């Protein structure tokens, strides 16, 4: 099993398919689509932790900005106003 191999041989590198780094990356890629959503991306941007704030200032992308915009629209915008002035019905389903 990969986990027991990673524990037995922690000195192996990320390039080694049985190293602990490879195991962690395998788990990350498996779960990434379920972990990266608008709430988690907005939480990352709004974190008060100084270390995370420094990371955000260096690594923020348009994906993060879009997540915050979608979340604000979803949680704070009046639905009646959204119906009258928001994007087309087809585009709304993408949000």
Query: Cα-atom radius of gyration of the chain, to the nearest Å?
Result: 20
DSSP count for the chain of H helices, then E strands: 7, 0
pTM over 0.75: no
DSSP states of 11-64 as a string? T--TTSTTSHHHHHHHHHHHHHHHH-SHHHHHHHHT---HHHHHHHHHH--HHH
- Return the pLDDT at 79: 73
Same domain? 2 vs 30: yes
Q: Tell me how many domains the chain contains.
A: 2
Residues 30 and 40 in one domain: no
In tens, the pLDDT along 38-60 reads 999 999 999 999 999 999 999 99
92 with 49, same domain: the answer is yes
Task: Mark whether 90 and 61 lie in a shared domain.
Answer: yes
pLDDT tens digits along 49-92:
999 999 999 999 999 999 999 998 888 877 776 666 666 655 55
Residue 28 sits in the same domain as residue 40: no
State which residues form the domain around 10.
1-34
Q: Is residue 26 domain-shared with residue 58, that is, in the same domain?
A: no
């Amino acid at each position: 099993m990969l986990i027991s191999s990673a524990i037995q041989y922690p000195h192996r590198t990320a390039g080694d398919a049985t190293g602990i780094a490879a195991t962690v990356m395998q788990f990350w890629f498996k779960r990434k689509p379920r972990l990266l959503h608008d709430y988690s991306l907005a939480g990352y941007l709004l974190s008060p932790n100084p270390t995370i704030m420094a990371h955000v200032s260096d690594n923020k992308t348009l994906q993060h900005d879009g997540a915050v915009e979608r979340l604000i629209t979803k949680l704070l915008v009046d639905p009646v106003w959204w119906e009258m002035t928001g994007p087309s019905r087809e585009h709304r389903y993408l949000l």
